[in-house]
Chain A
Amino acid sequence: MPESPVLSLENLKTYFFTRSGTAKAVDGVCLDLRKGETLGIVGESGSGKSVTCLSILRLVPPPGRIVDGKILLEGRNLLELSKRELRQVRGKQIGMVFQDPMTSLNPFLSIGDQVAETLLVHEQLSRRQALRRAAEVLEKVGISDAANRLADYPHRFSGGMRQRVMIAMALIGNPKILIADEPTTALDVTIQAQVLELFRQIKADFGASIILITHNLGIVAGMADHVAVMYAGRVVEYAPTEEMFSRPRHPYTLALLATLPRPGEGGNDLQPIPGTPPDLTRLPPGCAFYDRCPFHEQHCLEEAPPLLPVGKDHWASCWVDFTAGR
């Protein structure tokens, strides 16, 4: 892939070794995140989006393990770092916003302490100074009167405000990269809009590169510069956003887009497409989308298609070019 990205995943494999078999949650993911850009990742539930993100910070819970691949942060492979070096990356180079703001904040620590902690851990600051910075950042993400709310505990905050706190927590270390795993799924629609606006602002103000995971194609269209579509633990298509929406090259992307309602009909969440996703513990040797694919050929059953360039900056993993005949 072109230019030198801030973050690139090469052939990342994260497996869960469960009693009922090895679930290949992430099975050879390749991705690039370019400086100052927003990368959207979409895919249906269980396609491995969250596990990919957790892998980047090496936060995969047992029985999961990263078994292969590289995670290059400006050329440095995160998988080779010592625990100590890794901690320097977490929070400082890469900030993370988790999906569920209700459970992701520590109920026993005040908001101020939690937000300021990132600074305390990474920088030589007194608690007072850190708290002052925390108040500034909280103010910036839209918590009014933040200085007076530092001592409050999370249960006093609404879901939307907690998500802002989470975002402040990820931003305060001034990371190069912000990873947001469905930051708006748990929020209602008006708050969603506010939080997204916040992300746009962040991109402008902080100059961070963002990985944005979502189920909502509308959000992707509005926010992302590039989109990666994941299916069964793999990236099946990667392209600039506009290109992806206008010229999809993977049948799965096509199916996703087909479920989009016309503009004005509201609700851009991914609609289920016919068929069921494959069992990750028993992936077929060929293409994982075979069963659900209207274009499949004999060859698809025998060999899994690799991610190949299909246009300028456009990659897809499919043996069939269904656009050819048109």
Chain B
Amino acid sequence: MIKFILRRIALSLPVIFLIATTTFFILRLAPGGPFLSERAIPPEIQANLQAKYGLDQPLWIQYGRYLRSLLRLDLGPSYRYPERTVNEIIVEGFPVSFELGLAALLVALLIGVPAGVVAAVKHRGFLDRLTMSVVLAGISVPTFVLGPLFIFFFSLTLYWFPPALWGSPEQLVLPAITLGTPYSVYIARLTRTEMLEVLQQDYIRTARAKGVGEFRLLWRHALNGALLPVVSFLGPAVADLVTGSIVIEKIFAIPGLGRYFVESAFSRDYTTVMGTVLFYAVLLIAANLVVDVLYKFLDPRIEYR
């Protein structure tokens, strides 16, 4: 088990290096720069700034310096907020995004799995058709329509939840549901397909022949097998949630990392962009590792090596 995890970590180091390198060169190859943009800054100051951050050096020296600081886990100063480092920005923004993402994932699972199971059990029945239509409708409405819609109804009309900002649990509800809905819908669909498949298995018939009741049959015998694909979906889902949160954070004015990323991209804040991308890459690799470990835990057929 430990060995498996260590090996995976070792394998992901080159990936992280590759991402660091790619983002670095893409950014440098792009026209323009953090201090060369539209803003009318006097040339001397511009040159000064360039020198201060080493942007006047040859590319490979900059690259070398960047890698060295990466080894110290130092993502460098932010160009946009000179008084802050990228590390500080991440430490500040990430917990917010993390909380939002986790809540959304929870929403997705809590709605998606039961809906999928119900649809499968009532296969071709009314409830199946209903859930699956809702599911398709859910996939077809973009979150940035859903978000404002929720705000409109639940905040501005019903006054149930605050429409924006961050900090209190009530403020988490709407963004988490908005972000989680597409995934709940997807998970419902996946769960249904897999559940239908599992329910046709011989071992389900064996359980029935033992006199096992319907509830126990689903819960003890069918769910585990049906959830395995859902679990492996969670890896890419986290990646997707992360990107999705960019929009949600914008709609609900949440001070999360996604918003920093977009803002820093627009203002060509190289270090922050690189730092966030790199951070997210590490996060996703970690998330995938967790998912794989969970998968092995759920599937006894896979033995630890």
Contacts and interface: CB of A to CB of B under 8 A. Distances in A.
Within the complex, are A and B direct neighbours (CB within 8 Å)?
A: yes
Interface in A52-84: 57, 59, 61
B221 A109 contact: yes
B180 to A, nearest CB: 27
A201 B265 CA distance: 77
A166 B203 CA distance: 11
B64 to A, nearest CB: 51
Given A98-B202, A155-B300, A108 B210 contact: no
B222 to A, nearest CB: 9
B129 interface: no
B203 A87 contact: no
A96 B211 CA distance: 11
B299 interface: yes
A95 B216 CA distance: 19
A100 interface: yes
A88 interface: yes
A158 interface: no
A78 to B, nearest CB: 13
A91 B300 contact: no
A90 B205 contact: no
A221 interface: no
Given A121-B216, A153-B300, A104 B203 contact: yes
A166 B209 CA distance: 11
Given A108-B299, A153-B301, A155-B301, A169 B210 contact: yes
Interface string B198-229: 00111101111111110010001100110000
Contacts of B201: 103
Interface string A105-141: 1111110000001100110000000000000000000
Contacts of B210: 90-91, 117-118, 121, 169, 173
A89 interface: yes
Nearest to B124: A62
B225 A121 contact: no
A109 B220 contact: yes
B71 to A, nearest CB: 44
A92 interface: yes
A59 to B, nearest CB: 6
B211 A121 contact: yes
The contact size tier of chain A is: 20 to 34
Contacts, number: 78
A61 B200 CA distance: 9
B211 A91 contact: yes
Contacts of A88: 211
B211 A59 contact: no
B257 to A, nearest CB: 37
B203 A105 contact: yes
Give the interface SS of chain B, mostly helix, strand, loop or mixed.
helix
B277 to A, nearest CB: 38
B212 A108 contact: no
B203 to A, nearest CB: 4
A89 B211 contact: yes
A104 B206 contact: yes
Contact of B225 (A107, A118, A122): A107
B139 to A, nearest CB: 29
A91 B206 CA distance: 10
Nearest to B201: A103
Contacts of B211: 87-92, 118, 121-122, 173
A108 B206 contact: no
Interface in A163-177: 166, 169-170, 173
Interface in B270-305: 298-301
A95 to B, nearest CB: 8
Contact of A59 (B209, B221, B301): B209
B224 A108 contact: yes
Interface string A19-37: 0000000000000000000
B207 A106 contact: yes
A61 B199 CA distance: 11
A96 B300 contact: no
A267 to B, nearest CB: 28
B213 A121 contact: yes
B202 A103 contact: yes
Given A118-B210, A173-B210, 6 more contacts: A87-B213, A91-B210, A95-B209, A105-B203, A110-B300, A117-B207
Interface of A: 57, 59, 61, 87-92, 95-96, 98, 100, 103-110, 117-118, 121-122, 153, 155, 166, 169-170, 173
- What are the 8 closest A-B residue pairs judged by CB atoms, nearest first? A91-B211, A90-B211, A91-B210, A153-B300, A103-B202, A106-B203, A108-B224, A96-B209
